[in-house]
Structure 1
Amino acid sequence: MEDKTVFIINKAIKLFAKKGFSSTSVQEIANECDISKGAFYLHFKSKDALLFEIFNHYSKEIQYKADEIQAMGLDPRTKFTKQLIVTYQEIIKHREFIIMQIREQAIPFNKDIEEFIQHMRFNSHLFYKRNLTAIYGKDIDPYIWEVTVLMQGMFKTYLDLIIIEDVQFDIEELCEAILKRTDFLVEGFKKSTDQPVITDRLMSEIIPENYYDNQLNEIVQSLKGKQTQNTESEIDVTISVLLEEIERQDPRPAVIKGMLTNLEGLDIFKGVAGQIRTFFQL
């Protein structure tokens, strides 16, 4: 995203938080950014489009930070805890803006917003599922989705207390506590003979079968876009090997990790490298 576009987004979010979405005009945003109204429309076709890009920009910021943590040499539990912490921290930064959205119910209902929210829900389900599997192993497969949904519920309940009630938690302690409560859930399921309510079959009806393929395709296209077409280039050789490996039926984690170490020192690969580590839980 262009620096100017991000600049407008940052200015607009402050105006929306202060005055409200409905009460803030495009002209006021342009004035705040010291640009003409016409220049605003070069970046965004409407105020609704700007709001969509605000959601998109800040969700990617959170994802980027989570991906950076995924690339660290940490154990799965520590990684997940740190990812929960940065998610809370990034959301809290925009508390006033979120309150405005709740108060005004300002989110426009259109296809782009609908698809974006759906995409975020699917990503959240998979993010929790992958991390919980990495922490607790295959033993929780029969009730992994149940634990996934319950843990997301805990996260959201505490978030509501923070955003709506302005409760001041120590975020690090809170995230560690959420994981401990998840431990209790997992142990309870291990001892119980009850069948989970939320099953693979149920979730397969919610998350499209091709959603995983689409995620992987985004990664593949991002890698291909960074190739220089110089077949003797060390970077291009690394990308080619990495592409071949992640498109295998049974990708080998050790090979993927090895290729990623060749790329992660370069800034342009940090984002996609983090996405790969997150997707394959490396």
Structure 2
Amino acid sequence: MEQKSIYIIEQSIKLFAKKGFSSTSVQEIASACGISKGAFYLHFKSKDALLLDIFNYYYQRIQTRIDEIQKLDADDRTKFMKQLQVTFEELADHREFIIMQIREQAIPFNENIEQFLTQMRVNSYLFYKSHLENIYHKRVDEIVWEVSLILQGMFKGYMDLIIIEGADLNLEALSEAMLRRTDYIVEGFEKSGDQPVITGGTMRQLLPVNFSGEEKEQLLASLEELANEGDQDIKDTVHVLTEEMKRDQPRPAILKGMLANLEGLSGFKEAIARIKQFYQL
């Protein structure tokens, strides 16, 4: 995203937090940015499109910090704890904007925003599941979805205190405590022999993703095979695409961009359709 668009986004966030989304006009945004109303529309098709890009902007900020932590020379538990902490930090830093969204219920209902929010929700499920598997391994084979949902519920409960009630909590200590609570939950399942209510089968019925990972591996293998038959530009595009698909939380904008580069190329039609369905693009 170019710097001018980022500047408009940042100024808009301040206005929306102060006045609300519905009460802020495009002209007010343009004036705050020192540009004309026409110049605004060179960057964003509408105020709704701007809001979608704001969501993307927040998501990318969090994802960048999560990716940086994932590269650290640390164990899986430490990485996950730090990733929870930076997610708390980013959301707390934009408390006013989030409160505005809650109070106004300002998110417009359109297909692009609905798809984005669906993808973020699915990414969140996969993020927690993946890290729990990395930390607890076979101990959570049968209970990973149940534990994941309980952990996400804890996160939301603490986040509500921070955002809505304005609680000033030690976010590092909070993230560490969440993982200790998760230890107790896993141990409780082991000691009691209790069976999970939510299983992999439940989640496959509810959500539009094959969580076993088998379909994703098949897609990656198919893309790499197709790339070997193409020129260097195709190889480079497929490399970026497959690396994005391997991330804990793939970025929809990157996936869409790479798929657009491959559309119309011989042999890629089926793979593109499967990827779009898999990621709900």
Pick the TM interval, shorter chain.
Answer: 0.7 to 0.9
**1:273: how far off?**
6.2
Q: Deviations over 1:219-256 (max 9, x none)?
A: x79xx8xxx939xxxxx8xx79x95xxxxxxxxxxxxx
Q: Matches of residues 74-85 of structure 1 in structure 2 within 5 Å?
A: 74-85=74-85
- What is the TM-score normalised by the length of structure 1? 0.78
In the alignment, the residues of structure 1 paired with residue 60 and residue 16 of structure 2 have an alpha-carbon distance, to the nearest angstrom, of 20
1:89 aligns with: 89
2:232 aligns with: 229
1:191 aligns with: 191
Contact 2:15 2:24 in 1 (8 A): yes
- Is 1:71 paired with 2:71? yes
Contact 2:204 2:210 in 1 (8 A): no
Q: Deviations over 1:109-150 (max 9, x none)?
A: 111111111111110110000001111112211100000000
In the alignment, the residues of structure 2 paired with residue 10 and residue 215 of structure 1 have an alpha-carbon distance, to the nearest angstrom, of 38
2:48 aligns with: 48
- Is 1:137 paired with 2:137? yes
The gaps in structure 2 that reach 5 residues or longer are 250-281
1:153 aligns with: 153
1:60 aligns with: 60
Specify the code of the residue in structure 2 equivalent to 1:166. G
**1:206: how far off?**
2.2
1:120 aligns with: 120
Q: Deviations over 1:32-58 (max 9, x none)?
A: 111110010111111111111100111
Q: Deviations over 1:79-109 (max 9, x none)?
A: 0000001101111111000111111111101
2:253 aligns with: none
- Is 1:30 paired with 2:33? no
Report the 3-state secondary structure (helix = DSSP H, G, I; strand = E; otherwise coil) of the residue aligned with 1:142.
coil
In the alignment, the residues of structure 2 paired with residue 5 and residue 214 of structure 1 have an alpha-carbon distance, to the nearest angstrom, of 33
Specify the code of the residue in structure 2 equivalent to 1:20. G
- What is the TM-score normalised by the length of structure 2? 0.78
2:11 aligns with: 11
The gaps in structure 1 that reach 5 residues or longer are 231-235, 244-268
Q: CA RMSD in A?
A: 3.0
In the alignment, the residues of structure 2 paired with residue 186 and residue 38 of structure 1 have an alpha-carbon distance, to the nearest angstrom, of 56
**1:277: how far off?**
5.7
Q: How many residues align?
A: 242
1:233 aligns with: none
Specify the code of the residue in structure 1 equivalent to 2:232. Q
In the alignment, the residues of structure 1 paired with residue 10 and residue 56 of structure 2 have an alpha-carbon distance, to the nearest angstrom, of 13
Contact 1:71 1:274 in 2 (8 A): no
1:172 aligns with: 172
Structure 2 vs 1, CA of residues 116 and 277 (structure 1 numbering), >3 Å: closer, same or farther?
closer
Report the 3-state secondary structure (helix = DSSP H, G, I; strand = E; otherwise coil) of the residue aligned with 2:142.
helix
In the alignment, the residues of structure 2 paired with residue 216 and residue 110 of structure 1 have an alpha-carbon distance, to the nearest angstrom, of 32
Contact 2:66 2:83 in 1 (8 A): yes
1:20 aligns with: 20
Report the 3-state secondary structure (helix = DSSP H, G, I; strand = E; otherwise coil) of the residue aligned with 2:186.
helix
**1:174: how far off?**
0.4
Contact 1:70 1:277 in 2 (8 A): no
**1:274: how far off?**
8.2
Specify the code of the residue in structure 2 equivalent to 1:34. G
Specify the code of the residue in structure 1 equivalent to 2:125. H
Report the 3-state secondary structure (helix = DSSP H, G, I; strand = E; otherwise coil) of the residue aligned with 2:4.
helix
In the alignment, the residues of structure 2 paired with residue 2 and residue 215 of structure 1 have an alpha-carbon distance, to the nearest angstrom, of 33
**1:207: how far off?**
2.6
In the alignment, the residues of structure 1 paired with residue 144 and residue 160 of structure 2 have an alpha-carbon distance, to the nearest angstrom, of 24
What is the aligned-residue identity percentage? 56
1:106 aligns with: 106
